[in-house]
Amino acid sequence: MPSRGEKSDDTGEYANAGRRRGSKFDTQPISSSVFRRRVPSSANMSAHDALLDTPKDPSLMPGARNALAKALGLQPGQSFVLMAESGYEDVASAMLRAATELGLHTRTFMVDRETCERELFVERIVGELEESDGSALVASRTGLPPRFRQAIVAIRGQRRHAHMVGVTLSMMRQSMRADYGEMHALGERLIERLSTAREIVVNSGVNEQLVLRPDPSHRWYNGSGLLRTPGFTNLPAGEVSTCPASVDGSIRPDGGVWLPKGPVRDPRTSLSFREGRVVGIQGAERDEILKLLSTDENGPRVGQMCFGTNINVLTPIGAMLQDSKIPGFHLILGYSCPEHTGAKWNSQVMVPMLVRRADVVVDGKPLLVRGRYAREILG
């Protein structure tokens, strides 16, 4: 069965399927300069009409339709609340047009930081969402107050919510077009293979081998984006993850390390681990990574090992929200996603690391070869 929700991809803490407040930070800022126009911050017809007056971009429509009909599974006649940050009119207008095509009864809100800091406005939004069948937030990672984003995902009720914080035009044209059913099925096949694994060996370069041992008391989580019960899903979606019991060896994250300033792709970067903690770093960003990890006791711990399942993503674009969904292997230092993995510890630090061309062997059998899944996994 599809999951009830996901970890939030917001900046700050985390959230769990509308039940637990919080978020996850992405270090890649998105400039609003790539979007066309701004419309009034209101919930009346002016916002609705202004979005429909935004020139239609046909290349964004498949991803928008996919989000509403396939990821959220909304049906004609259901109620839908669309919230969009000023500066994201292109994506928001595509979502509104898709909702209209689908026959949803839609309420539209254009928001900015100042508006979202007004308690009366937040109360109004919460009231709308509590009564809706579905909703979507299209926004940047830094433009809206974290409390507002957290309030959006924490709402209970019958609503299914698409949290599209950090979405870009490139994502709409690529990862948002993915087949959610196919991603979910791939995730389930991976979990069937990984759930009984005793040892996972990752080779990421010459003399770079990492040995991970899963914790049988922790859960594998299928973040496919497919949502059919109340809660929320991060879009774009596509990964399977858990919190490991132990991690030893070294890894070369050739796909990048995400820091607050953005992704770092230094080919010399290599990290060494002993008993699940970072014990050595090589590369130009060594000091900055160490400084970040030292801000939290559990910052140097491996919080999650993940496998991307969005087969619609072909190449990195420099945005963690999409690049981490590329089929392949990646680690997350710090945040253990306890609401989904069942880990008994956690960290406010989160440093994702992507390995693009890893060879992964599970209990002696190949799972990934040069970053590509074995044929029996793809089905």
pLDDT tens digit sequence for 311-348: 888 777 778 788 889 888 999 999 998 888 999 999 98
**pLDDT of res. 225:** 92
Q: How many CA atoms within 13 Å lie on the side-chain side of 84?
A: 28
Confidence band of 8 (pLDDT split at 50, 70, 90): low
Domain coordinates of the chain in residue numbers? 32-165, 180-378
Taking residues 117-122, report their average pLDDT. Answer: 91
Specify the pLDDT at position 364: 96
Question: Does the pLDDT value for residue 35 go beyond 70?
Answer: no
Check whether 241 has a pLDDT greater than 60: yes
Average pLDDT over every residue of 307-311: 92
Return the CATH architecture of domain 32-165. 3-Layer(aba) Sandwich (3.40)
pTM recorded for the entire structure? 0.78
**Contact criterion met (CB below 8 Å) for 180 and 66:** yes
